[in-house]
Amino acid sequence: MNLVTLRTVREVRNHLAGVRHKGKKIGLVPTMGALHAGHASLIQTARSESDFVVVSIFVNPLQFGPGEDYLRYPRPIEKDLEICSQMGADVVFLPEVAEIYAAEQRVFVDVTRLGDHLCGPFRPGHFRGVATVVAKLFNIVQPQRAWFGEKDFQQLCIIRRMVQDLNFDVEIIPVPTYRDADGLAMSSRNAYLDSDDRAAAPTLYRALTTARAMIENGERKAAVVKDKASRIFAEQLRIRPQYFEIVDPVELQPVDEITSEVRIAGAIWLGKTRLIDNVSAALLKHFRHVTCS
């Protein structure tokens, strides 16, 4: 089946009405384009787990703040369409901004608390923009399932909570982070890195995996783990750390004492490029308490 490109909400709804009439289950992979191997993995996973796959490509202005890279965000549409076709997508929804925001937006989706830490304080309004556009896409496509990468773990948690609290009839499926051989998480923004910055970029993953190893080997003090990460970043002068936090994996609140599974997340700047990444960690070694009589 040939890939179909649709550009309006009406076209999508009309096309998918026929798909539903045939009893097919619809899956959605929301993207901002500039697709890479990580996105390909999302689409491929969706293809294997649903009857009909819709990929949306929309650079959402609502989630970019002042001074961020909305205008220079890469938009290689022909390459993106080729990847969608190769990975087996059935439809690409490729709207213009005026189609999604036909009038000045006055209704927003704001998931509280989950954006209080990690990226939230550094990107005010970002997650409100993400939640709002994803809510729109869910209403337009009405998928049974939607796939999101774990690289944007805070976004994943926020979308899950939005679906729960607003009773969307869609299952959110997480897909593990896709990485280069040196551990760098795939990101559309990696294309901005020059050769020296690209060589330094895996330092973030090294800090995260070092922190995970410390926790798995019994370190319970978050401050000790974070101090080690700070020293790793200090070894690489090109890096400007923005944050490095250890949080609970549901509410995304910082923890001081590690007693159960946590998420370790960090953000760094390399030149004008901001990179994020995260890993999960849990205590593996349990030490027997000895009671003295």
Question: Catalytic positions, please?
Answer: 39
Edge-to-edge strand list for the sheet holding 262-270: 239-247, 262-270, 273-281
Q: In terms of C-beta density within 10 A (0-12 exposed, 13-18 middle, 19 or more buried), how is residue 293 classed?
A: exposed
| CA 92 distance to own-chain centroid | 19
Q: How many CB atoms lie within 10 A of CB 100?
A: 20
> Distance between the two ends of the chain, CA-based, in angstroms?
75
| Distance of alpha carbon 55 from alpha carbon 157, whole angstroms | 20
Residues 149 and 159: their CA atoms lie apart, in Å, by 12
For 267, other C-beta atoms within 10 Å of its C-beta total 20
The amino acid sitting at 106 is R
Helix then strand then coil, % of the chain, to nearest 5: 40, 20, 40
